[in-house]
Structure 1
Amino acid sequence: MQTAVNYFAVFGGLDVKIDTSKPLRTLIIRHILDEYYEIQESIEKLTQNNAPYHKILTGLALGDRRTTTAFKRADVDYDEGIETISNLAHLGILTKETPVDFVQSEKIRNEKLNKLLFTTPFLRFWFAFVSPLYRGIAREEYDESFERFNNYQLEFMHLIFEQLSHEFIKSAFADDEIEKIGRYWDEDKNDLDLIAKTKSGKILIGSCKYTNTKVKKNELNRLHAICEKLEIVPDCTVLFSKSGFSNELKAEKGNALKLYTVKSLKALIL
């Protein structure tokens, strides 16, 4: 199942049939790097071969997804960046994400805190690991691309894991329908990977960890500390983990604490 998540993070949105019995590196070479010129042509049509667009997309593909971070990496000023983002959204390449609006809704939102999402996982992969290294790839020299991918792989996969976790929660709580779901972050560095409200008014909060270590009880304590700051009283905490959970955390599993692993997401992508 972890393999399926990894492959979806790379190929999601690319119109190819993937044989998940093959190693990821083999498939990246076969379906992306060896097809560089053909895919590049379609990307150029999509982005209107606009160099500033490519700079923003490359700056956005890795990191915290905040507009200001992407603008800084692309070396563009804020006004130019906002105009570019608007154009990319119109082209169907990006969407804007804001913190969920039922947490401290009375606060004035800082537009500079907005985050951005690629509309498909593949486009994000392309601008993270292919487009910036096009010179070597065009010469069929792929080592630099894979070195970069290996260095950032867990960070890169984390976002997809979060997105799939959100979709899973929508189906898992079908008896009390999820009315709103998203993420929360603010200027005070309060950050929740998942926060949702059900039709009956219950509040769910959670985190998603795509790491090689088990999630421990300190993660639960961290989330509850954030909730205290935000004056949220969660009815249920949901934790998603790539590598499982500590025995101490498993012992607390119940109606108020739900624990899910990568296997839980199977129905979403298989």
Structure 2
Amino acid sequence: MGQKGEQIHTLKSSYERFKHLDIHELINFHCVFDAHDISLNFYDVFEAIEVCIVREFQNLKPKFSFDSPLKNELSLALMRLAKSDRKRFNIYKIFSQQVAKRVYKELFERELISVEKSLEKPIKAPKGQLLKKHLRRYQVEDKIRFNDNFTRFWFRFIEPNLSLLEEAKFDNVMRDIRANFDDYASFGFELICRELLAHKFGVEFDRVSSLWTREVEIDLFLKINEQTVVGEAKFKEHKICKNVLNLLAKKCNRLQLEPYKFALFSKSGFSKELERLKDERVMLFNMSDFEELING
């Protein structure tokens, strides 16, 4: 089976199941329950998590149990990927190269993860010169993406806490989830931002990606008609200030990019300085803008 790159679970598909939620809570639910059905109508994501996942962990465990000689390695790899920067070589730090390759092969065959290819070009030495030692060792590195948020949630919070859950220490696990939820959900939010950006420019979802190099990382990158659109997605409890735009512009300068548009996405809105900014290149997206994805 292939390494699927398409986003199957859209925000609209979550809306069809959670029509009673406002857009803020819908995004929270999508970042957890995109691939897991729940029968009750909850209004708070943490209540839903506790009732439908944390206290139901015994019933859900078989879904994430692997009938494989590598079952322990598969779980360890997924826990590492769920918590890390998603770079492909992460699991090579805990397994031998041979085991890591076998683990990836099985995870791809099970269609749990996909590869997000790096757009970075290999470093080449100027003609007649030799690259410095640390640059000769550097390898362009792809990233790994879970094919659904629910699986990533399980391996970020539930699988690592199974011993606590077995002891019925549900409150301990919920404290962990509450404390780290925004950090966890930031990538799920980034994927929804890709979805909205693709919608705005009339392109397929997979045309929008991240852009990362040895020194720089940009959340959202789209090249269309020889023009580039770059963006940042912030899933935080405070407004985005102009310094986020300034930092994004500096990243582009380092990459020698001259963007056609800068797209900023915020969970909590924007500073007055940004909102007053008169620059046609800058696009600001609040939570209400995501309603286009469910109404369109």
Fold shared per TM-score above 0.5: yes
* Aligned equivalent of 1:216: 241
* Aligned equivalent of 2:216: 190
Q: How many Å separate the matches in 2 of 1:162 and 1:46?
A: 33
In the alignment, structure 2 segments of 5+ residues that lack a partner are 1-22, 125-137
- How many aligned positions are there? 261
Q: Name the SS for the 1:113 alignment partner.
A: coil
Deviations 1:68-113, CA, capped at 9 Å, x for gaps:
33443xx2234422331222011111111122x3xx64657x6562
* Aligned equivalent of 2:268: 243
Deviations 1:1-52, CA, capped at 9 Å, x for gaps:
221111111111113245242x223211221122222211122158787110
Deviations 1:167-204, CA, capped at 9 Å, x for gaps:
00111122x888832111111x2110001012x32210
Matched, 1:153 2:181: yes
Match of 2:76 among 40, 55, 58: 55
* Aligned equivalent of 1:167: 195
Q: Specify the code of the residue in structure 2 equivalent to 1:15.
A: D
Q: How many Å separate the matches in 2 of 1:31 and 1:173?
A: 37
* Aligned equivalent of 2:229: 204
Are the aligned partners of 1:98 and 1:114 in contact in 2 as well (CA < 8 Å)? yes
Q: Give the direction of change, closer, same or farther, for the CA distance of 1:106–1:51 in structure 2 (3 Å limit).
A: closer
Q: How many Å separate the matches in 1 of 2:143 and 2:149?
A: 16
* Aligned equivalent of 2:61: 40
* Aligned equivalent of 2:13: none
Q: How many Å separate the matches in 2 of 1:163 and 1:218?
A: 23
* Aligned equivalent of 2:46: 25
Match of 1:95 among 99, 105, 114: 114
* Aligned equivalent of 1:117: 145
Matched ranges for 1:223-242 at <5 A? 223-242=248-267
How high is the sequence identity, in percent, across the aligned residues? 23
Q: Name the SS for the 1:117 alignment partner.
A: strand
Are the aligned partners of 2:31 and 2:150 in contact in 1 as well (CA < 8 Å)? yes
Which structure has the bigger radius of gyration?
2
Q: How many Å separate the matches in 2 of 1:177 and 1:142?
A: 41
Q: Please report how far the alpha carbon of residue 67 of structure 1 lies from its aligned counterpart in structure 2 after TM superposition.
A: 2.6
Q: How many Å separate the matches in 1 of 2:110 and 2:178?
A: 30
Matched, 1:7 2:32: no
Deviations 1:112-152, CA, capped at 9 Å, x for gaps:
62211111101111111111111221333212211221221
Q: How many Å separate the matches in 1 of 2:114 and 2:220?
A: 18
In the alignment, structure 1 segments of 5+ residues that lack a partner are none
44-53 or 27-36, which deviates more = 44-53
Q: How many Å separate the matches in 1 of 2:70 and 2:204?
A: 43
Q: Give the direction of change, closer, same or farther, for the CA distance of 1:7–1:52 in structure 2 (3 Å limit).
A: same
TM-score (structure 2 length as normaliser): 0.80
Matched, 1:85 2:104: yes
Matched, 1:181 2:200: no
Matched, 1:138 2:166: yes
Q: How many Å separate the matches in 1 of 2:105 and 2:288?
A: 37
Q: Specify the code of the residue in structure 2 equivalent to 1:226.
A: K
Are the aligned partners of 2:164 and 2:170 in contact in 1 as well (CA < 8 Å)? yes
Q: Name the SS for the 2:259 alignment partner.
A: coil
Q: How many Å separate the matches in 2 of 1:267 and 1:48?
A: 46
* Aligned equivalent of 2:4: none
Q: Give the direction of change, closer, same or farther, for the CA distance of 1:218–1:78 in structure 2 (3 Å limit).
A: farther
Q: How many Å separate the matches in 2 of 1:111 and 1:222?
A: 25
Q: How many Å separate the matches in 2 of 1:63 and 1:151?
A: 17
Q: Name the SS for the 2:208 alignment partner.
A: strand
Q: Name the SS for the 2:65 alignment partner.
A: helix
Q: Give the direction of change, closer, same or farther, for the CA distance of 1:20–1:267 in structure 2 (3 Å limit).
A: farther
